[in-house]
Structure 1
């Protein structure tokens, strides 16, 4: 699984770079043709990772329920984002990956409730969830890259 953690680290590095590169106005701008903004995509990958790895393994998540309700699948980006939210997201994108690797290696995540993603992919265990998370975060990094071209 080390390669998957390494890949997630690269993806997260790029997401964090985008969060640092743009001001709040641009991070929350939704260009025509899109339903969400840069900040939403970055927060969504964090929330989804927490749901897929911690919630489905019956462990406490590092994000609170408010973040889950705002950034889970099916939600839409809004302008109610603060500079503190951006700072917290950057911190959580960094620390949650370190914590995930630590918890995976300690077998804290060994129990796993099987889940089928909206892609139709069956996740049977934590390894499946981590592998799928790489795909999911890559997809949203691609959205962020497209959003950057659409913001002014």
Structure 2
């Protein structure tokens, strides 16, 4: 059975959306000891990077909410002095809606015949040069999985139930 890149992206995104289960606004803003970001940042970053990877090479206008570039670009952290505190954080329902609607919206406007077109490369933080739209979308599978893993770890580290168990077993 052959699957399309968008079917693969939708499967990964479904896992990311499950991470909203049990999340609270307070939990989403807590930063685990030894880390630089929180669950809200992980979710916003997943949205930001997918939007960038899917639209930039083909010059498709991105749907980037106000403040997302300043907040969720690689290397930013809520701990930074330059983090835009004057802009309100997106709420969990807003992030869930953005992440839920993103792939269908992009797929509807995406010129599938251009997937393998040679375009200006996107250079990743891991040193890869993504030279076609399909490479960029496939890289997003890895990228979203990486950040899904981080937010899953954050949830476990910050879970009140887990913290209560750790306190009682010490």
Q: How many residues align?
A: 151
Whether the 8 Å contact between 1:57 and 1:113 is mirrored in structure 2 is: no
Mark the runs of 5 or more structure 2 residues left unpaired by the alignment: 80-84, 161-170
- Whether 1:102 and 2:144 are equivalent positions in the alignment is no
- Whether 1:58 and 2:64 are equivalent positions in the alignment is no
Whether the 8 Å contact between 1:43 and 1:71 is mirrored in structure 2 is: yes
Structure 2: distance between partners of 1:9 and 1:81: 28
Structure 1: distance between partners of 2:147 and 2:67: 21
Structure 2: distance between partners of 1:52 and 1:147: 25
TM-score between the two structures when normalised by the length of structure 2:
0.77
How far has the Cα of 1:125 moved from its partner? 1.1
How far has the Cα of 1:24 moved from its partner? 0.5
Q: What SS class does the counterpart of residue 67 from structure 2 fall into?
A: helix
How far has the Cα of 1:111 moved from its partner? 7.6
Identify the residue that residue 93 of structure 1 maps to in structure 2.
99
Mark the runs of 5 or more structure 1 residues left unpaired by the alignment: none
Larger Rg: 2
TM-score between the two structures when normalised by the length of structure 1:
0.85
Identify the residue that residue 18 of structure 1 maps to in structure 2.
19
Larger proportion of helix: 1
- For residues 61-76 of structure 1, what are the structure 2 equivalents within 5 Å? 61-76=62-77
